[in-house]
Amino acid sequence: MASVRAAVGASLAVARTRPRCVGLALPSSAPRSAWAAAMEPTPRWLAGLRFDNRALRELPVETPPPGPEDSLATPRPVPGACFSRARPAPLRRPRLVALSEPALALLGLEASEEAEVEAEAALFFSGNALLPGTEPAAHCYCGHQFGQFAGQLGDGAAMYLGEVCTAAGERWELQLKGAGPTPFSRQADGRKVLRSSIREFLCSEAMFHLGIPTTRAGACVTSESTVMRDVFYDDSAPLKFLSLLMSTQGVQAPAWDEMISESNCLTMSSALSTLRSRLPIPVTRTTYRGTRPFSER
């Protein structure tokens, strides 16, 4: 543990250098100051990841509200956009719980039990530091809850980090789950605790090996930060340790199983949304007619 903490401290002391990305156009519209970018640590084990965040280039992104960076997480309506900029909330003393070797191999990464690798995974997969090329954002969508159309929903506990292009020509979207509040968290805190993170880590990998399409859990990180849970139970302490899950999903070819109505087809504010991984980017500007209500389908 002492070696892991020492490695994290050493990594935090190193200034960030920008990656050399051949053939990829990295967007530069993220609302982060040059000073903040320069203070990010330099990855080593993760240095080979090359990001090309096509979803943020091709889909409408909300103009960040005025004010400090903390205002990015203020709950609010987000009309006319599919994404809102976000920033992971830091954790106290993050540490690695588990890595999934098969899931990380999809990104061209080799899992290791070396202290330096575990420290780097804890640092970047906790959201305490951002990899070069990542652009954290929360996805705005809509849908039905409890049999009624609920209007604006969105990623209230997950953040899009970016899309990794691999040497095999594949594109994988990276997400942090439990990274803190977003504009779509409503009254919640946007956090996950260790037990739910472990459940999702195990279940997502089990579903994949059962042949069920799903996201892949790449890493699970916990911390010494706590959050109040289970206040009505007597058999467990109300304070739980905060944890995060880093997951990946393939950006696939189009497979339309949901249609988008003519009204606000880009903002997802008046009809069922379609998974980004199944949405061909050029088609998102097309208007579709004749969508039936969910209850009639």
Tell me how far apart the alpha carbons of residues 180 and 189 are, in angstroms, rounded to a whole number.
Answer: 6
The whole-angstrom distance between residue 246's C-alpha and the CA centroid of its chain comes to 7
Give the whole-number percent of the chain exceeding pLDDT 90: 42
Statement: residue 275 has pLDDT above 60: no
Statement: residue 17 has pLDDT above 70: no
Average pLDDT (136-150) is 88
Statement: residue 289 has pLDDT above 60: no
**Cβ contacts of 222 within 8 Å, gap of 6 or more:** 94, 95, 97, 194, 197, 241, 242, 243, 244
188 in a structural domain: yes
Using CA atoms in the order 223, 154, 203, 54, what is the torsion angle rounded to 10 degrees? -90
Residue 37 confidence (pLDDT): 54
- pLDDT grade for 251, boundaries at 50, 70 and 90: confident
Average pLDDT (193-217) is 91
210, burial (CB in 10 Å: exposed 0-12, middle 13-18, buried 19+) = exposed
Half-sphere exposure of 18 (CA within 13 A, CB side): 9
21 in a structural domain: no
Q: How many domains, in total, are found in the chain?
A: 1
Cβ 203 vs Cβ 197: under 8 Å: no
Please name the amino acid found at residue 146.
F
129 in a structural domain: yes
Residue 68 confidence (pLDDT): 78
223 in a structural domain: yes
Mean pLDDT of all residues belonging to the chain: 75
Average pLDDT (156-163) is 93
**Per-residue model confidence as pLDDT tens digits over 63-76:** 888 877 777 888 89
139 - beta bridge partners? 83
Tell me how far apart the alpha carbons of residues 194 and 211 are, in angstroms, rounded to a whole number.
Answer: 26
Cβ 172 vs Cβ 166: under 8 Å: yes
73 DSSP assignment: G
Enclosing domain of residue 109: 55-62+79-296
Residue (of 186, 218, 198) closest to 102 by Cα position = 218
Average pLDDT (33-37) is 49
- pLDDT grade for 80, boundaries at 50, 70 and 90: confident
291 phi, psi to nearest 5 deg: -70, 130
Q: Is 103 helix (H, G, I), strand (E, B) or coil?
A: helix
16 in a structural domain: no
Q: Is 54 helix (H, G, I), strand (E, B) or coil?
A: helix
Tell me how far apart the alpha carbons of residues 171 and 253 are, in angstroms, rounded to a whole number.
Answer: 11
Statement: residue 28 has pLDDT above 90: no
102 DSSP assignment: H
Residue (of 248, 97, 275, 43) closest to 166 by Cα position = 248
144, burial (CB in 10 Å: exposed 0-12, middle 13-18, buried 19+) = middle
4 in a structural domain: no
Residue (of 249, 245, 250, 48) closest to 133 by Cα position = 48
Q: Which residue has the higher pLDDT, 266 or 192?
A: 192
